[in-house]
Structure 1
Amino acid sequence: MENTKLFEVAWEVCNQVGGIYTVIRSKVPSVIKKWGNENYFLIGPYFAEQAAAHFDPATDFSTPIGKAVLEMQSRGFEVYYGQWIVSGRPNVILFNPYSIYDKLGEIKYYLFQDYNIAIPDGDELLDKVAAFGFQVKEFFHYLCGSDFCNDNIIAHFHEWMAGLPIPGIRKSNLNIKTVFTTHATLLGRYLAMNDQEFYSHLPFYNWEEEANKFNVAPIANIERASAHGAHVFTTVSEVTARECTHLLGRTPDLILPNGLNIERFEATHEVQNQHVQVKKKIHEFVMGHFFQSYSFDLDKTLYFFTSGRYEYQNKGYDLTLEALARLNWKMQQAGTDMTVVSFFITKRPFYSFNPEVLQSKAQIEDVGRVVEEIQRQVGDRLYKEITMISGQYEFPDLRALVDDYLRLKLRRNVQSWKTQNLPKVVTHQLVDDAKDEILNFLRTSNLVNNRHDKVKIVYHPDFIATTNPLFKMDYTQFVRGCHLGIFPSMYEPWGYTPLECLASGLPSITSNLAGFGDYVVNNVTDHDNKGMFIIDRTDGNFNRAAEELANMLFEFVNLSRRDRIALRYRCEEAAMHFDWSNLGKFYDEAYKLVSER
């Protein structure tokens, strides 16, 4: 590694969009530890609003990379050199795609002439990707114009948005060893969303016809050119590898499973304490949301959740809903005194928060403030009463210590808060409520937060953040406060959500069609005992999978509190298997292989 320079190129370097951002960012400290800052560089796009929070400009341009950046700047390229403000502070080179839009016509012409990749006009993302790819290719040309490329240079490209320079590097015969990792094929995602038997039909698709059908031919061509042009082609799971073989026409050389920087999540013996603290905040939301209509015992309430991109079938929302409906029936039949509140956290178009939900939240906060006033008043007066007692002590009448004004105020606040209406299922006003698949299932199954329902639903069509007035916490905190994550995906190249649960000490359920689930089944022994529950979705039988999931949920509901706490600690301990200090070895294998080739 002393004689090797490693460049990782990704659209999500200093640009938070999705899961690849987590892959790159979480991996940085372990890569820096192996390679050192002087041998490791990241390349990404420059967007001012993102860079303001993520990028720290350099002041020293005396290094070969700094000189190449100055050379490109002198020739009119808008390129930035500095450090990414994350753990490890890696060196980054960022290119502004908009700065060469005047050359887009020429760039697209040569992409079609040289590689038969046709980029249409008017597609904003494709225009940015084409401009970015051209700049990255030129940057490597500048580097190799000096003695820099006499050393061993590895360039690792992540996903199609970053892969476009690969054909150009090969055509120019630059002395750069290329690795390409696809984290999911876009065509596979579209096909899975529209075909319940996607994996059965995978060998029989005509990729070109399907790409034209879904209007993603340019992206499919970029993916194929990147995969076929790279010296080493990799993906993140065996599940996605099969997809690559049939849709990209090349079987990956290696599998690079995704990890996490587990240290960021570690709480050691504080796991249960943190869970209890955050759970109190979720209790506050649940009380405001449900208790205005009816109440249930919060000490006997479990919080389940599912989250991610809104892909109703791909993410397994359809299976989760069916299993929850069956769980509701099973719990009622068993006469259990437990309650389950299940959260659906995803992103959907909405106008605003539901005003009734916000009003209920505000009203219960008003009730809380009056209660605090009464507490202070009773406390002060009780203390005075006690200190002024002479003779035999008698406990004072607490009711006499409260002013009539505060009693009346509390009564009015409680009466205005209480309602005969059922608690709302969805917390926001959706743009197209009537066509929402989650809501339509809940209406059809009558799982609408009836008093007698043992399973309650909260559908939150926005991601959770500290600025959210309903929860007032970030997503990772919310996860710690829950009891179980449910992610039975039908299409999921990897799936970070169950891994994030594991690192937070939270058990979760996923499927063996998700890359993470497939990896667990084949590499983690006794995974159920470590909080990694996997359902089998390979036979395509929805009814059987729903019953299996419902039974898993029912078994979890019946666990004792002591068993749930023990499982929580085993989860956090098992998470170390997925730390980059362990999974980074797969990347090392890829770099060894590409060096040999």
Structure 2
Amino acid sequence: MGKNINIPDYIFESSWEVCNKVGGIYTVLSTRAKTLQDEFMDHVIFIGPDCWSEDNVCPYFTEDITLFSDWRIKACKSGMKVRVGRWNVPGNPIVLLVDFSPYYKIKDDIYSNLWNYYHVDSLHAYGDYDEASMFSYAAGKVVESFYNDNIEKSSKVIFHGNEWMTGLGLLYINHVLPQIATIFTTHATSIGRSIAGNNKPLYEYLWAYNGDQMAEELNMQSKHSIEKQTALYVDCFTTVSDITAVESKELLDKAVDVVLPNGFDDDFVPTGAEYIRKRKNARKRLLSIANALTGSEYKDDTIIVSTSGRYEFRNKGIDVFIDAINRLGKIENLKKKIVAFVEVPGWVSGPREDLYERLNSGNTFCTPLDNPNLTHWLHNVDNDNVLSMMQYLDMKNSIHDNVQLIFIPCYLTGDDGIVNMNYYDLVLGNDLCVYPSYYEPWGYTPLEAIAFKVPCITTDLAGFGLWANTVKGSDSKLEDGVEVVHRTDYNYDQVVNDITETIHRFVLLTPDEIKKIRNNAQKLSKKALWSKFIKYYHDAYDFALQKASNRV
């Protein structure tokens, strides 16, 4: 794109994950906030769902009744329920949390208008569709109210929505305030994720899939419809990587206008003595958990490997990771012991009391607990995919096994009852992280890993993996800080073997070689800072404002 001529005066950005830590979009928005705040101080306003009660206070939000108090009182009198405050992340941007529950009573009218104006099919709605749509509509009403009450009509205003859950609000603003420029970012198409999650080959047949037809086959009509129509009608349609841009064009019948790669803010990554201390503490905690579960002895040179993310067994490559760790255990004469962790949130019923007691004793152990592969009890222990695959592969974590695999099935927020450390304090304890994704529009977990100087393995079906290859100018290798494994619809076995061999190769490296790889990993992460990637957002703002100006 050329030089931007349109700079917004106000930016509203909406997401279900504003002040609501659910997945990767929370990281996208919360780490980008400071970069935007530095440029548009307090003219960047995030809008999220007020899904918190008095008994369950939002830990990410600090209310400030002095902010826009006159407007807030007026909005509340008109029937809106909105709280104003700041997001407790670097930059402390202004946040409007909206209670969307009042709109359920007019849901049918909202959906009827949506059909009449934009032909969005809400007839097949189920699950979280209604909840997301009512939030989205509430967010649109808040933007409308704030704009009419607080903003000069000559101002250049952006309303940016993330994922299909914000589509209804974007279309509402597009209809009632066409002078506001709208941007829609799909971080993963709902139908693409569904095709992949239903074990259908996505990539080789992408050109032959009809998005509307697949939505009907997979019972995704309403989510697909709001996503597709939003992409078609907003001023600027965006996604987070080139691989998802191709997917969007095929499945949503709309080419993206701008690709917005996900950056990172590393202000909170520890350095120097603090990094050394935190890494030592993380390793000590992980090895203590492994010892208390298995009764095995772990020396200081034990290699710690992990995978993490959402519990999408195939899409995130959790199956590949387990298989690779199993094959690693069959290699004779491994030079070092390896303990691997699967850190994805399952259906936890509670922390294991027997494990808690062992950890709390401060002792080391030479006998295993029953079920030495699990840190928390699960409601669905007999039907859990991770445990079922470990059982199928006969992975028992026997005391003398050189390679062991442990499932930590909880959110690592620091209060799970066993690990009791948050994810960012734990990830730097790893020697190597593995993210062998089949479906991954971007991939924050590998970017986070290398920011903490932990080299990783990912695939070229992840947006991040493709970006790493682009930076290298060829296939990125472990020596560069990121090993990007080639993955297709059909080469599962080869991917498992490649990952097994890469981990084994890492085990054989000297301390100096590992130190160089760790430094290269961190250097690569510096190229993905928001200060480098924010320019793409300026392109999107310029594109959307120009389109809105022409329309009005």
Pairing 1:505–2:453 present: yes
| 1:205 equivalent in alignment to 2:209 | yes
- Equivalent pairs counted in the alignment come to 537
The verdict on how the C-alpha distance between 1:67 and 1:482 changes in structure 2, with shifts beyond 3 A counting, is same
Q: Deviations 1:184-207 (Å, cap 9, x if unpaired)?
A: 111111100123521112122232
1:427-450 alpha-carbon deviations (Å, 9 max, x no partner): 333333333332233223222213
Pairwise CA distance, 1:354: 4.1
Deviation at 1:120, TM superposition (A): 5.0
RMSD of the TM alignment (CA)? 2.5
Residue in structure 2 matched with residue 299 of structure 1 by the alignment: 300
2:339 alignment counterpart: 341
Amino acid in structure 2 at the alignment position of 1:29: K
The alignment-based identity, stated in percent, is 28
Q: Using a 3 Å threshold, how does the CA distance of structure 1 residues 84 and 275 change in structure 2: closer, same or farther?
A: closer
Q: Aligned residue for 1:414?
A: none
Give the CA deviation at 1:306: 0.7
Structure 2 unaligned runs (5+)? Answer: 1-5, 548-552
Per-residue Cα deviation, 1:68-127 (whole angstroms, up to 9, x for no partner): 544432212112233223221212222210133332232222223332334359846322
Among candidates 217, 232, 235, match of residue 236 of structure 2: 232
Secondary structure in structure 1 of the residue aligned to 2:92: coil
Is the CA contact 2:7–2:541 (under 8 Å) kept in the aligned structure 1? Answer: no
User: Does 1:435 find its partner at 2:438?
Assistant: no
Q: Distance in 1 between matches of 2:463 and 2:259?
A: 10
Matched, 1:56 2:57: no
Residue 14 of structure 1 is matched in structure 2 by 19
Closer, same or farther in 2 for the Cα pair 1:230/1:336, shift >3 Å?
same
Equivalences for 1:547-558 in 2 at 5 Å? 547-558=497-508
The equivalent residue for 2:321 is 320
Q: Deviations over 1:527-574 (max 9, x none)?
A: 633311110003631121111111111101111233223322332233
Tell me the distance in 2 between the aligned counterparts of 1:550 and 1:567.
18
Write the letter of the residue equivalent to 2:376. Answer: H
Structure 1 equivalent of residue 257 of structure 2 = 253
Match among 386, 405, 417 for residue 469 of structure 1: 417
Match in the other structure for 1:544: 494
Partner of 1:162: 166
Q: 1:97 to 1:190 in 2, by over 3 A?
A: same
Cα deviation for residue 221 of structure 1 reads: 0.8
Aligned-partner Cα distance in 1 for 2:358–2:260: 47
- Residue in 1 that maps onto 2:550: none
Post-superposition Cα deviations, 1:9-36, rounded to whole Å, max 9, x if no partner, equal 2121122221111111111111111122
The structure-2 alpha-carbon separation of the partners of 1:284 and 1:426, relative to structure 1 and needing over 3 Å to count, comes to closer
Larger Rg computed on CA atoms: 1
Matches of 1:52 and 1:438, distance apart in 2: 31
1:454 Cα deviation (Å)?
Answer: 1.9
Confirm or deny: 8 A CA contact 1:344 1:458 kept in the other structure. Answer: yes
Cα distance in 1 for partners of 2:545, 2:279 equals 46
SS in 2 for 1:198: coil
Query: Which letter does structure 1 place at the counterpart of 2:169?
Result: P
Alignment-mate amino acid for residue 219 of structure 1 = K
Q: What is the CA-CA distance between 1:297 and the residue it aligns to?
A: 4.6
Contact 2:338 2:402 in 1 (8 A): yes
Q: Distance in 1 between matches of 2:499 and 2:85?
A: 48
- Distance in 2, matches of 1:269 and 1:196, equals 48
Residues 54/546 of structure 1: CA separation in 2 closer, same or farther (3 Å cut): closer
Which range moved further: 223-232 or 139-148?
Answer: 139-148
For 2:328, the aligned partner's letter is L
Shift of 1:268: 4.5
Residue 563 of structure 1 is aligned with which of 510, 513, 537? 513
Alpha-carbon distance change, 43 to 434 in structure 1, aligned in 2, over 3 angstroms: closer
Q: CA deviation at 1:272?
A: 4.0
On the 8 A contact 1:180/1:227 being kept in 2, the answer is yes
Partner of 1:152: 156
Q: Give the match's secondary structure for 1:101.
A: helix
- Whichever residue aligns with residue 317 of structure 2, its letter is G
Distance 2:438 2:381 in 1: 25
Q: Deviations over 1:402-456 (max 9, x none)?
A: xxxxxxxxxxxxxxx6547776122333333333332233223222213443211
Alignment of 1:33-432 (within 5 A): 33-37=38-42, 39-49=43-53, 52-60=58-66, 68-120=71-123, 123=126, 125-143=128-146, 145=148, 148-172=152-176, 174-268=178-272, 270-291=274-295, 295-330=296-331, 332=332, 335-362=333-360, 365=362, 367=363, 419=367, 424-432=372-380
Q: Give the 3-state SS of the residue equivalent to 1:300 in structure 2.
A: coil
Residues in 2 aligned to 1:111 and 1:419: alpha-carbon distance in whole angstroms: 62
In structure 1, runs of 5+ residues without a counterpart are 369-416
Q: 2-side partners of 1:57 and 1:418: how far apart?
A: 51
